[in-house]
Chains A and B, each alone.
Chain A
Amino acid sequence: MSAQQEFAADVLVVGGGPAATWAALDAARAGADVVLADKGYCGTSGSTAAGGTGVWYVDPEPALREAAMASREALGGHLADRRWMARVLDQTYVNMNELAESRSYPFPTGPDGRQLRTGLQGPEYMRRMRIRVRRAGVRILDHSPVTELLTAADGSVAGAAGQRRQAGHPFLVRAGAVVLATGGCAFLSKALGTNTNTGDGALYAAEVGAELSGMEFSNAYGIAPEHTSVTKTAFYSYASFSTGDGAALEGAASQGGRSVIARSLLAGEKVYCRLDRADEAARRAMRLAQPNFFLTFDRLGIDPFTDRFAVTLLAEGTVRGTGGIRIAGDDCRTTVPGLYAAGDAATREEICGGFTGGGSHNAAWAMSSGTWAGRGAAGYARALGPGAHRRVLAPAGRAGLRPTAAPGGRPGGDAREIVAAVQRQVLPYDKNYLRHGDGLTGALSVLDDTWARLRAGLRATGTDAVRARQAAALTANARWMYRSALARTESRGMARRLDHPGQDPAQHHRIASGGLDEVWTRPLARTATEAAA
């Protein structure tokens, strides 16, 4: 095995998307020496870089802010928190204005002569965030997937280890504090830009005893042309949906009618679409706003405004859901000392409750939570003092790295086979989208078996460890997801149950989850500022 490369830093940021880059930038600006380790390439990794996003940027006009906060409280099942919404609106306003004023992003100018700061094109935003991070003195390690956290004797998180996959050798970072900004989990569905988002951070967090929250809010599916990757559901608000013979598909819509599409696809019927509700001005504007939306069509020779094309639904898991690592403080600390979480790796229930955070809310959350986690981690590392790097470190990784069974025992399968087994339980619409207690119970029991098998027997070393850990992360995320979905015996936010269609006032609370060999859930007491409405 090649020699391990060692680094020491005040703050280690794991991830390379918006939350990771804001965390690295603001940790560095707070005086910390920062290493950012990304599984892929900081600047192209993650769901933002590949796409583009609206941003929850609202002028600090009280009436506008009030309307912004009120607009989705009911959709989110009244699980969001007004105090957090206000904080995120404030921080997002500051960060977006900073992008504009430091000429770090070329915002367009609207018809009234003012810059439009309510959206970002992914490639441009992330290319420039990388430059800003580098200029702040952050050491960026690309193609350096972290495979496990390292803990100090008192259980606090004190670094991480992983693989520099293009260089072909392992690495280790001793750090005062670690920020997990690894994105959500979309189960390798190939929804646009999400295949780097395999829920690794949630696995690593759980291995050191952190908790998750809102994992039942994980059944987002985005619309894409059949056999392609570009899930830009917003533009399908202009769509008319139809069946194979050209008849209108009754009740199908991008918002509030996606289950009709899912049912047709489940029945083996094709669903067709045409964006014929967009007028000429809207068509031109769509092309300028999101050129990547048209890549697919231009390459297929389809005019989406006049031609009918078949569509599919791709799982977006917690990337467009709201579940993730539970946040335990305003600085985005977790329940484990030295460990912080930001972006889609963290729960977004604080601002979205139980309804998809996809698009503008997730973008606002990523930059706000990134800023707070970066500063929080920098402050924590500073308080530790110079002794931080002399701590004795223990590796926290288990499944896929350190199997429990004696060598030569029942084989744990290989990573690829485990991923396929998990996908069979989480991608089908009849299991995950149109959820029913019976289906959830059956799927969970298969997933529990898959976990037991991989925990006992899967062992990978070197760069193979990356795939093994992804397989373990997908399995763990799937189990928290379905265990939480079973715990919520009602329909709230996006967590709808066919066998419990109504909302139950007695379940007006969030659900925490965690554990690996034994998965658990428990209701969380509501805070004073969670939406009282």
Chain B
Amino acid sequence: MIELVSAERCVACDRCIRVCPTDVFERGADGVPVIARQDDCQTCFQCEANCPADALFVAPYTHPQPQDPAVRDERRLADAGLLGSYRAQIGWGRGRTPGALRAIGPALGPAAQATPITS
């Protein structure tokens, strides 16, 4: 779930408000988006992928983590290379190569030879 909107990094472009498919954000008084409906977050990571400032962090859990400050610790997340990591992997952003160009998947697994892969 979305856990962090970094006020320091945010450029107030409103993209996350616009692109979130479940309408989780609202514009805050200072222009920085606020997480208004966290329960509606479906942990799809698309706000992160679309954030030009790498200001967002979506924790992998499908429930809020109020007791775990680590998922909102900007410094820690940045040091671990997690802020903006999805955007980098799919190759979005100036000067990057689209990840789709390199997306050559594996021949699917030992079990795949017995039954077709269906999902």
The reply to whether the CB of A286 lies closer than 8 angstroms to some CB of chain B is: yes
Contact-residue size bin, chain A (C-beta under 8 Å from the other chain): 35 or more
Residues of chain A within 8 A (CB-CB) of B44 are 44, 49-50, 192-193, 229
Residues of chain B within 8 A (CB-CB) of A196 are 21-22, 42
Query: In the complex, which residue of chain A has the Cβ closest to the Cβ of B21?
Result: A40
A116 to B82, CA, bound (A): 30
A-B contact pairs, 27 of them (CB 8 A): A40-B22, A40-B23, A44-B19, A44-B21, A44-B50, A46-B21, A49-B21, A49-B46, A50-B21, A50-B46, A54-B117, A116-B104, A121-B99, A190-B42, A193-B44, A195-B42, A196-B22, A227-B60, A229-B42, A229-B62, A233-B119, A234-B117, A237-B108, A237-B112, A292-B86, A295-B60, A355-B118
Query: In the complex, which residue of chain A has the Cβ closest to the Cβ of B48?
Result: A295
In the complex, are the beta carbons of B62 and A106 less than 8 A apart? Answer: no
Q: Closest CB of chain B to A150's CB: distance in Å?
A: 24
Residue in B23, B92, B106, B116 whose beta carbon sits within 8 Å of that of A166 in the complex: B23
In the complex, are the beta carbons of A285 and B104 less than 8 A apart? Answer: yes
Q: Closest CB of chain A to B49's CB: distance in Å?
A: 5
Q: Which of A44, A225, A227, A296 is packed against the most chain B CB atoms within 10 Å?
A: A44
A44-B118 in contact given A119-B105, A166-B23, A285-B105 (Cβ < 8 Å):
no
Residue in A44, A125, A222 whose beta carbon sits within 8 Å of that of B46 in the complex: A44
In the complex, are the beta carbons of A298 and B105 less than 8 A apart? Answer: no
Q: Tell me the residues in window 20-70 of chain A with beta carbons closer than 8 Å to chain B beta carbons.
A: 39-41, 43-46, 49-50, 52, 54
A110 to B73, CA, bound (A): 41
The reply to whether the CB of A255 lies closer than 8 angstroms to some CB of chain B is: yes
Residues of chain B within 8 A (CB-CB) of A121 are 90, 99-100, 103
A193-B42 in contact given A40-B20, A166-B23, A277-B109 (Cβ < 8 Å):
yes
In the complex, are the beta carbons of A291 and B99 less than 8 A apart? Answer: yes
The reply to whether the CB of B94 lies closer than 8 angstroms to some CB of chain A is: no
A359 to B116, CA, bound (A): 11
A282-B90 in contact given A45-B21, A124-B98, A196-B21 (Cβ < 8 Å):
no
Number of interface residues of B (CB under 8 A): 47
A125 to B119, CA, bound (A): 18
In the complex, are the beta carbons of B18 and A142 less than 8 A apart? Answer: yes
In the complex, are the beta carbons of B100 and A298 less than 8 A apart? Answer: no
Residues of chain A within 8 A (CB-CB) of B100 are 105-108, 120-121, 124-125
A143-B23 in contact given A194-B42, A295-B45 (Cβ < 8 Å):
yes
Q: Closest CB of chain B to A303's CB: distance in Å?
A: 14
Residues of chain B within 8 A (CB-CB) of A120 are 100
A-B CB pair tally, cutoff 8 Å: 179
The reply to whether the CB of A123 lies closer than 8 angstroms to some CB of chain B is: yes
A290-B116 in contact given A49-B46, A124-B99 (Cβ < 8 Å):
no
In the complex, are the beta carbons of B106 and A190 less than 8 A apart? Answer: no
Residues of chain B within 8 A (CB-CB) of A71 are 116
Residues of chain A within 8 A (CB-CB) of B50 are 44
Task: Write the residues of chain B forming the contact surface with A, with a CB cutoff of 8 angstroms.
Answer: 17-23, 40, 42-46, 49-50, 59-63, 82, 85-86, 89-90, 92, 98-112, 114-119
Residues of chain A within 8 A (CB-CB) of B43 are 190, 192, 228-229
In the complex, are the beta carbons of B104 and A289 less than 8 A apart? Answer: yes
Q: Which of A39, A143, A358 is packed against the most chain B CB atoms within 10 Å?
A: A143
In the complex, are the beta carbons of A288 and B103 less than 8 A apart? Answer: yes
A62 to B43, CA, bound (A): 42
Q: Closest CB of chain B to A309's CB: distance in Å?
A: 11
In the complex, are the beta carbons of B85 and A298 less than 8 A apart? Answer: yes
Residues of chain B within 8 A (CB-CB) of A292 are 45, 86
Residues of chain B within 8 A (CB-CB) of A195 are 21-22, 40, 42
Q: Which of B106, B111, B116 is packed against the most chain A CB atoms within 10 Å?
A: B106
Q: Closest CB of chain B to A495's CB: distance in Å?
A: 15
**5 closest Cβ contacts across the A-B interface?**
A40-B21, A237-B109, A289-B105, A358-B119, A291-B89
Q: Closest CB of chain A to B115's CB: distance in Å?
A: 5
Residues of chain B within 8 A (CB-CB) of A255 are 111-112, 114-115, 117-118
In the complex, are the beta carbons of B62 and A228 less than 8 A apart? Answer: yes
A290 to B86, CA, bound (A): 11
User: A270-304: contact bitstring with B at CB < 8 Å (1 yes, 0 no)?
Assistant: 00000001100111011011111011101110000
Residues of chain A within 8 A (CB-CB) of B107 are 282
Residues of chain B within 8 A (CB-CB) of A108 are 100-104
Given contacts A295-B85, A300-B60, 9 further A-B contacts (CB under 8 A): A41-B19, A107-B101, A109-B101, A120-B100, A193-B21, A234-B108, A299-B59, A299-B82, A358-B118
Q: Tell me the residues in window 191-249 of chain A with beta carbons closer than 8 Å to chain B beta carbons.
A: 192-196, 220, 222, 225, 227-230, 233-235, 237-238
A361 to B86, CA, bound (A): 27
A43 to B109, CA, bound (A): 31
The reply to whether the CB of A356 lies closer than 8 angstroms to some CB of chain B is: yes
The reply to whether the CB of A405 lies closer than 8 angstroms to some CB of chain B is: no
The reply to whether the CB of A513 lies closer than 8 angstroms to some CB of chain B is: no
The reply to whether the CB of A253 lies closer than 8 angstroms to some CB of chain B is: yes
In the complex, are the beta carbons of A228 and B119 less than 8 A apart? Answer: no
A46 to B119, CA, bound (A): 16
In the complex, are the beta carbons of B110 and A238 less than 8 A apart? Answer: yes
In the complex, are the beta carbons of A124 and B90 less than 8 A apart? Answer: yes
In the complex, are the beta carbons of A295 and B86 less than 8 A apart? Answer: yes
A231 to B17, CA, bound (A): 25
The reply to whether the CB of A505 lies closer than 8 angstroms to some CB of chain B is: no
In the complex, are the beta carbons of B118 and A356 less than 8 A apart? Answer: yes
A229 to B62, CA, bound (A): 6
Q: Closest CB of chain A to B68's CB: distance in Å?
A: 12
The reply to whether the CB of A263 lies closer than 8 angstroms to some CB of chain B is: no
In the complex, are the beta carbons of B90 and A41 less than 8 A apart? Answer: no
